Amino acid sequence: MYMDFMGIEAFLAIVQTQNLTKAAEILHLTQSAVSYRLKMLEKEMGTTLIERRKGIQSITLTPFGESFVPLAERWRLLNREVEFLQARGPEISLTIGAADSLNVYVLPPLYRAISQQYPALRLKIRTQHTVESYESMERREIDVGFVKMERVVPNIIAQPFYVDEMVLVRRKTEDRNQQEFVAPSELDCRHQLYFNWGPSYQIWHERWWGVYSSSTLQIDSAALIFSLMWDQRQWAIVPKSIAAVLAKPDEFIVQQLSDPPLPRVCYKIVPKYPEPIKVPSITMINQLVELMYLVESKMQGIF
């Protein structure tokens, strides 16, 4: 049903002022013009909204009129949003879903580049687990995803975009500054701050310290590693991107392992059949990712 916006404005002005004359004043119209607009609205609605009684200045709403007030308010708000959109012109929005560690330690440069180079793009960033990102993309709730695991899902394309090498982090001491490589056999598992970085890391860990090896501290937040590492005997293995942000040079030393675990491979996911209006924005993000995260050369020595 077509709704008369001018009639709704007149109706709401009458409700607000409780007086036909005052409603005409705030709308900068004559009283007869306001009465006409109200009459046309009532004709369209097929019922009376306001009781007319001779000699009485204040208005009284009919039961239908009272019920119609909140709907008229919502209709006016919607009309204003449409007018705002028309005045502003078309705007493309893009929603990105990414794992927490990627959002915090890997992707900020990409987000800055998008904002600086494409200020008209309305970017929404959601932090979610890898499985959630795949599910959100299937429901078309996100347009691009950055995840820590590849899954075979119909209508979703997953491509590696970032290779995160695993490094050793320890408290800084004089003798450690000279060591570039450390053998896993030199590390006492009892002093490890353990974080499970995934199946391949777990296999590597068991190869060196056994299935039943135990650590004093097992944590599920990478940031905790650097808060809880107070003893020089303690150590942890983390992705290089996290170490680069959290390992303060005056407190920690980052070293390579002579036999490191496999790097953590992160993936970009996009829908196989994206919405046509969003194709240019997704293409732009793909180009930026290729420029900023050169994964191909790093992938050659992994498998």
Read off the pLDDT of residues 179-202 as tens digits, 9 standing for 90 and up.
Answer: 788 999 999 999 999 998 888 899
Strand pairing category for 264-271 and 156-164: antiparallel
Q: How far apart are CA 68 and CA 49, in angstroms?
A: 8
CA atoms lying within 13 Å on the CB side of residue 144: 27
Q: Which two tokens stand for residue 107?
A: 């992707």
Q: How far apart are CA 92 and CA 106, in angstroms?
A: 24
Q: How far apart are CA 31 and CA 23, in angstroms?
A: 8
Question: What's the fold here for domain 93-163+264-299?
Answer: D-Maltodextrin-Binding Protein; domain 2 (3.40.190)
* Cα angle 94-97-101, degrees, rounded to a multiple of 5: 135
Q: How far apart are CA 275 and CA 69, in angstroms?
A: 37
Is the distance from CB of 259 to CB of 187 less than 8 angstroms? no
Q: What is the pTM of this model?
A: 0.63
CA–CA distance from 119 to each of 91, 92, 145, 184, 281 (Å)? 11, 11, 20, 47, 12
Domains 93-163+264-299 and 166-257 share a fold: yes
Does residue 52 come out as left (phi exceeding 0), alpha (psi in the -120 to 50 range) or beta? beta
Radius of gyration of the chain (CA): 31
* 35-44 exposure pattern, b = at least 16 Cβ within 10 A, e = fewer: bebbeebbee
What does the mean pLDDT of the chain come to? Answer: 86
Strand pairing category for 93-98 and 156-164: unpaired
Q: What are phi and psi of 246, to 5 degrees?
A: -100, -20
Q: Which residues pair with 43 in a beta bridge?
A: none
> In 18-62, which residue ranges form alpha helices assigned H by DSSP?
20-27, 31-45
Read off the pLDDT of residues 154-165 as tens digits, 9 standing for 90 and up.
Answer: 999 999 999 999
Q: Is the dihedral of CA 275, 278, 283, 288 positive or negative?
A: negative
Read off the pLDDT of residues 29-66 as tens digits, 9 standing for 90 and up.
Answer: 898 988 888 888 888 888 898 887 766 667 888 999 89
User: What pLDDT, on the 0 to 100 scale, is given for residue 297?
Assistant: 42
Residues present in the chain in total: 303
Helix (H, G, I), strand (E, B) or coil at 167: strand
Position 1 confidence tier, pLDDT thresholds 50, 70, 90: very low
249 CB contacts (<8 Å, ≥6 apart)? 172
Kindly tell me if the per-residue pLDDT of 133 is higher than 50: yes
Kindly tell me if the per-residue pLDDT of 242 is higher than 90: yes
Read off the pLDDT of residues 204-239 as tens digits, 9 standing for 90 and up.
Answer: 999 999 876 666 688 888 888 999 999 999 999 999
For 166-257, which CATH class? alpha beta
Kindly tell me if the per-residue pLDDT of 140 is higher than 70: yes
Q: Domain residues of the chain, as ranges?
A: 5-88, 93-163+264-299, 166-257
Is the distance from CB of 96 to CB of 146 less than 8 angstroms? yes
DSSP H/E element including 225: helix 222-228
- Across the range 79-91, mean pLDDT stands at 63
User: What pLDDT, on the 0 to 100 scale, is given for residue 303?
Assistant: 41
User: What pLDDT, on the 0 to 100 scale, is given for residue 182?
Assistant: 93
Hey, what's the torsion of the CAs at 102, 104, 105, 111, to 10 degrees? 80
Q: Which of 1.10.3720.10, 1.20.120.1200, 1.10.10.10, 3.30.210.10 is the CATH number of 5-88?
A: 1.10.10.10
CA atoms lying within 13 Å on the CB side of residue 258: 9
Q: Which residue did the predictor score with more confidence, 7 or 85? A: 7
Kindly tell me if the per-residue pLDDT of 78 is higher than 80: no
Name the residue type at position 57: Q
